[in-house]
Amino acid sequence: MHEMECRVLSIQSHVVRGYVGNKSASFPLQVLGFEVDSINSVQFSNHTGYSHWKGQVLTADELHVLYEGIKLNNVHHYDYVLTGYTRDTSFLEMVVDIIQELKRANPNLVYVCDPVLGDHGSMYVPQNLHPVYKNKVVPVADIITPNQFEVMDLLHKMGPDTVVITSSDLPSRLGDRFLVSLGSQRTSKWRVRMEIPKVDAVFVGTGDLFAAMLLAWTHHYPNDLKTACEKTFSVMHHVIQRTISYAHELAGPGRRPSPPQLELRMVQSKADIEDPAIVMEATVLTL
């Protein structure tokens, strides 16, 4: 069997413990056979939902230095770039510069961007990131994964061909224990809708895993957003179910699991990552 040769540059956070940022994206992509080069934008002990967190951040200059090293060796050739949660405008602007250069080196490069701004009506990154995403980042993105809040200000016509609204508060036809996700792919004219079971817990790292898996499944199904979404949402379901069962086991009856207990059961979900059983069907919307 001829091996897949596909190289991803992922620029995200690193946590010593747990599964967010690059920790959430790298292993599943590697398990699916992607080569993953990773630039760690920060190194923290754990994600910021725990009681405590400590660590160091990478500056825009330091990011540039790392990229220079790659370029000097003439190995700056990527099929995909993947980015997520960022808090610093100069860092984000350096990311855009790098992506523009990488796209000149490979015009077929696909930039998958989770434009993390906020959720449920409020922003959780500094306000001054908003115009950088809108004016500089999204225009060079090929796939973006905003939630409903983020997509209000971002339109297909600003650049990306594929948009997946990962979660919304649109009412679900299956009742209030479900949320609605929407996907849209401009050139293939797919518009799909999925009813996703709600889970009564706060997870961290799931958005990062989602973007990584959407990268993988749109790579295998580039003109079939329905299948790509079914695969992606299904793998999310398997990982989340495994995680919530284990978290409740650890917490004990009647107790709410803590952030450490809610870390995604990533390595334990390898078989589901490799070949996710489809557990939900996307509805194709006709407009």
Find tokens 């992922």 and name the residue.
Answer: 10
Q: Mark 15-54 with x for binding to its own copies (rule: CB under 8 A) and - for no binding.
A: -xx--------xx--xx-xxxxxxxx--xxxx---xxxxx
- Quote the least distance from Cβ 24 to its own copies, whole Å: 12
Residue type at 240 in one-letter notation: I
**Which one of residues 13, 20, 25, 67 is an interface residue with its own copies (CB under 8 A)?**
67
Of 35 and 161, which CB lies nearer to its own copies in the complex structure? 35
Q: Is 208 known to be catalytic?
A: yes
Of 170 and 271, which CB lies nearer to its own copies in the complex structure? 271
The DSSP code sequence of 91-120 is HHHHHHHHHHHHHHH-TT-EEEE----EET
Scan residues 260-279 and list those touching its own copies (CB under 8 A). Answer: 260, 266-268, 270
Q: Mark 221-260 with x for binding to its own copies (rule: CB under 8 A) and - for no binding.
A: ---------------------------------------x
Of the candidate spans 62-70, 103-111, 112-120, 167-175, the one that interacts with its own copies by CB under 8 A turns out to be 62-70
- 176: buried, middle or exposed (CB in 10 Å: 19+, 13-18, 0-12)? exposed
Question: How many chain residues are in contact with its own copies, going by CB under 8 A?
Answer: 44
Q: Which two tokens stand for residue 66?
A: 């790392």
Rounded Cα–Cα distance for residues 213 and 112 (Å)? 11
Q: How far is CA 256 from each of CA 64, 112, 202, 252, 278, rounded to the nearest angstrom?
A: 43, 34, 10, 8, 29
Of 29 and 196, which CB lies nearer to its own copies in the complex structure? 29
Residue 9 bridge partners (DSSP): 37, 81
Q: Catalytic pick from 79, 88, 208, 272?
A: 208
3-state SS string for 205-268? CHHHHHHHHHHHHHHHCCCCHHHHHHHHHHHHHHHHHHHHHHHHHHHCCCCCCCCHHHCCCCHH
Scan residues 68-87 and list those touching its own copies (CB under 8 A). Answer: 68-70, 72-73, 75
Residue of 200, 192, 195, 162 whose CA lies nearest to 180: 195
Of 226 and 265, which CB lies nearer to its own copies in the complex structure? 265
Residue of 77, 122, 115 whose CA lies nearest to 210: 115
Of 16 and 170, which CB lies nearer to its own copies in the complex structure? 16
Of the candidate spans 14-22, 112-120, 211-219, 224-232, the one that interacts with its own copies by CB under 8 A turns out to be 14-22
Of 9 and 192, which CB lies nearer to its own copies in the complex structure? 9
- Quote the least distance from Cβ 21 to its own copies, whole Å: 13
- Quote the least distance from Cβ 67 to its own copies, whole Å: 8
| Strand 122-123 with 178-185, pairing | unpaired
* Angle subtended at Cα 68 by Cα 62 and Cα 73, rounded to the nearest 5 degrees: 140
Rounded Cα–Cα distance for residues 287 and 284 (Å)? 10
Q: Catalytic residue positions?
A: 208
**Contact residues for its own copies (CB under 8 A)?**
3, 9, 14, 16-17, 26-27, 30-31, 33-40, 43-46, 50-56, 58, 62, 65-70, 72-73, 75, 260, 266-268, 270
